[in-house]
Structure 1
């Protein structure tokens, strides 16, 4: 009996990373492919080893993810969806230990300050690790005494560790937004709420950015994100990354993009995709 092809979705990090959780939530029917770097994730899709990429683009606490905006326009991939993941931090250790046994925890550097209150209350010292899921895998192998790991709940599940405390983050709003990317674009209207993402460079004229943005205001298009970054390390070459609500075929979006084109030297559409339901609460 032939088995149905499940498809493969690639992510950066170890099994049990928050990117893995994003894959599980958004595409539970697909097999996952962990990769060492964002570039490896992109290459896995462009070469056909994987069908989709799951890439983090921004975090509600720390802002944009380094290098992603630089990589996306040149990746050759297209955004076909977004996924929001609440970063729920779990303290885990090898089975049989109690909370009072834990004197040290290892985690990715960004998780430690997010759990500062819990660690201080329980007199636990935090130590930075390259990857939280990787730290969980290492602890499962080493059984280091008095040590725990801060990571996702699925990291504990995958590596056979026991959870001692859940949701220990100081702020309950911490969320990471991921982009789901494919070799082929899909701009069909698949939901009532759609998002459009693009990059552009403005012409070298006074107030070019202000004028370029005017079309979105006058046409009632909500721009949810606008960020700038240098191109090839050049202080005079700036590229802008933008997310807007709506579909390019909507009359107001079409008019706004037409006006944008007049004030830009380059504009590239990165994707048209359904808004994640959690975007609007």
Structure 2
């Protein structure tokens, strides 16, 4: 079994790669083409952990992760928040005056509209941010720039023409860190999060009654999302994050009440809250 790697979806220099290096500098980032391959790398023992983006403050949730993670066989053992700091990159000899076209992922281009407008640059959609950096490095044309991370500039030998070109300063991506086996912290450890999925029974006001236990037991639910399953309109699954450990009395009582009204309940992981959460208070 191979140890010492952390898998991510994307190419070297992607923001997920940057998240891997910051959260687990002791592990070697392992790029994968898809989220499925990222998860398989851990399942098959080629990586110890997987870095999986689950939501972004501007783009919203990452639907693939919500669909794949519950049945992946992996457990959430941590979370990481990564500030998205877009840079305008160019080859050596380029400048703001020479750049005519800016290449990047569609979402990233939508987050740098002010830059494009003020400098009259044409946006060109590519598959991803770091891949765009690799493209312009290969082309070597001073008319082509890329919006990507500072790590991409370092890896592909590009110049950073402008830093922090994103329109919104709060652009942040949250990641789940997943492993083959759960790493259940002791109940007394402070600042824990619990993630789970559930389906409510098909009875009137089931969701209202199921969630009531969290309010009456003083459990803070930081995330609740619903999405359809199996291509139907009557199979709805809910994804939730709460503060606390499942064995804490108030959390245990809330989950017991939830389970009474659910057709299925599955805990995906119990893990330490990232320090970034303290800034959200």
Tell me if both proteins adopt one fold, taking TM over 0.5 as the criterion.
yes
Structure-1 residue corresponding to 2:164: 167
Where does structure 2 lack aligned partners over 5 or more consecutive residues?
A: none
Tell me what 1:65 maps to.
62
Is 1:95 aligned to 2:78, yes or no? no
Displacement of 1:237: 0.9
Q: Normalized against structure 2, the TM-score is what?
A: 0.96
1:116 maps to what in 2?
Answer: 113
> Under a length normalisation based on structure 1, what TM-score does the superposition of the two structures give?
0.96
Distance 1:229 1:237 in 2: 9
Q: Distance in 2 between matches of 1:217 and 1:79?
A: 25
Is the CA contact 1:83–1:178 (under 8 Å) kept in the aligned structure 2?
Answer: yes
Separation in 2, partners of 1:205, 1:268: 20
The answer (yes or no) to whether the contact 1:55–1:180 under 8 Å persists in 2 is yes
Do the aligned residues in 2 keep the contact of 1:6 with 1:31 (CA within 8 Å)? no
Say if 2:155 is the partner of 1:158. Answer: yes
Structure 1 unaligned segments of length 5 or more: list them: none
Secondary structure (helix, strand or coil) at the match of 2:234 reads strand
- State the shift of 1:141 in Å: 1.2
Equivalent residues in 2 for 1:1-281, closer than 5 Å: 7-189=4-186, 191-281=189-279
8 A contact 2:93–2:142 mirrored in 1: no
CA distance in structure 2 between the partners assigned to 1:231 and 1:71 by the alignment: 11
In the alignment, the residues of structure 1 paired with residue 263 and residue 116 of structure 2 have an alpha-carbon distance, to the nearest angstrom, of 51
Hey, what's the Cα distance between the residues in 2 that align with 1:194 and 1:129?
38
Q: Give yes or no for contact 1:6–1:29 (8 Å, CA) kept in 2.
A: no
Quote the RMSD (CA, aligned, Å): 1.2
Q: Deviations over 1:130-177 (max 9, x none)?
A: 011011111111113400000011000111101000001111001000
CA shift digits 1:229-267 (9 cap, x unpaired): 111112111111000011112111111001111111110
Asked if the contact 2:3/2:46 (under 8 Å) is kept, the reply is no
How many residue pairs are counted as aligned between the two chains?
Answer: 277
